[in-house]
Amino acid sequence: NAGVMQNPRHLVRRRGQEARLRCSPMKGHSHVYWYRQLPEEGLKFMVYLQKENIIDESGMPKERFSAEFPKEGPSILRIQQVVRGDSAAYFCASSTTGQSQPQHFGDGTRLSIL
Amino acid sequence: SQELEQSPQSLIVQEGKNLTINCTSSKTLYGLYWYKQKYGEGLIFLMMLQKGGEEKSHEKITAKLDEKKQQSSLHITASQPSHAGIYLCGAEGSSGTYKYIFGTGTRLKVLA
């Protein structure tokens, strides 16, 4: 499968635990984006990364959330000390360049907080 | 900030009927992307429109961009049950930006 791969598909955490979401971009894509989809709301941009660099994290909450895209391996979205309001679907997308190219999305990770 | 409004919010049509979904932006459109999402799954890229007046087709789906009206439309001809899902329009906030802004989607159901 040459598409964007996200895992896990579903993740359940208790309040206060950490959540790690992984994303492997499409082959040949070096630009990765994370979006969050809250129930009954649209997709909202969170962060844009290239290999080893965070380009724009303006859509990400200042506390508890972090993202990385290391030289080797998948991009990781990390949420520390999760709260009920973090329950959402988190989507990763990738593209060949950062401008005027379609972003291709993975199937998302559905995060549920107990 | 820019907003995208989609209409209708939901649509139920009989198989074989044509339908149109609209996406209107509160600001100038520089790039407009249409996606389809099935419940519980990811977004499937359908089409990209970048120039005013541009029109693209893929199988029975046609999308147009009206730059002056800051609007795009997605038209499905002779709908089939496989067309069912949520259609989302996404736009670049300003020329070349990577931060897509999405509409809240149009839920389409096609009755066999």
Tokens standing for A98? Answer: 């950062």
* Cβ of residue B85 closer than 8 Å to a chain A Cβ: no
Confidence at B96, pLDDT banded by 50, 70, 90: low
Which pLDDT does position A19 carry in this prediction?
A: 98
pLDDT of residue A41: 82
| More confident: A61 or B69 | A61
Inter-chain residue contact A105 with B88, CB threshold 8 Å: no
A84-92 average pLDDT score: 96
Bridge partners of A48, per DSSP, are: A33, A56
Q: Is B2 on the interface with A (CB under 8 A)?
A: no
Would the CB atoms of A31 and B42 count as touching at under 8 Å? no
Residue B97 pLDDT more than 80? no
Distance CA B55, CA B75 (A): 11
The distance of A44 to chain B (nearest Cα, Å) reads 7
Is the pLDDT at A85 greater than 80? The verdict is yes
Per-residue pLDDT for B21 more than 70? yes
Across A12-16, A20-24, B21-25, B55-59, least confident range: B55-59
pLDDT > 60? residue A29? yes
Interchain proximity B98–A102, CB inside 8 Å: no
| Eight-state DSSP code of residue B108 | E
Cβ-defined contact of A105 to B42 (cutoff 8 Å): yes
Question: What's the residue count for chain B?
Answer: 112
pLDDT at B95 over 60: no
Spatial contact of A33 and A47, defined as CB atoms under 8 Å apart: yes
Band (pLDDT 50/70/90 cuts) for residue B28 is confident
Span A30-50, mean pLDDT?
91
Q: Do the Cβ atoms of B35 and B48 come closer than 8 Å?
A: no
Distance between CA B93 and CA B80 in Å, rounded?
Answer: 33
Mean pLDDT computed over every residue of chain B: 91
Q: What is the chain A residue with the closest CA to B97? A: A99
CA torsion A109→A11→A21→B2, rounded to 10°? 40
Mean pLDDT computed over B77-84: 96
Kindly identify which residue of chain A lies nearest to residue B9, measuring between CA atoms. A40
Average pLDDT score over residue span B7-13: 96
- The pLDDT value given to residue B94: 66
pLDDT > 90 fraction of chain A, expressed in percent and rounded? 83
Question: Does residue B104 sit at the A interface (CB-CB below 8 Å)?
Answer: yes
Residue A1 above 60 pLDDT?
Answer: no
β strands within A28-87, DSSP E:
31-37, 43-50, 53-56, 65-68, 75-79
| CA distance, residue B21 to nearest chain A CA (Å) | 16
Closest CB from B4, B40, B100 relative to A45: B100
CA-CA-CA-CA dihedral for B4, A49, A111, B43, to nearest 10 = 50
As a whole number, mean pLDDT of residues A58-72 equals 94
Tell me, what's the pLDDT at B30? 78
Rounded average pLDDT over B87-93: 90
Cβ contact B100–A105 (<8 Å): no
**Residue A104 at interface with chain B, using a CB cutoff of 8 Å:** yes
Average pLDDT over residues B13-41: 92
- How much is the average pLDDT of A91-113? 91
Q: Does the beta carbon of A95 lie under 8 angstroms from any beta carbon of chain B?
A: yes
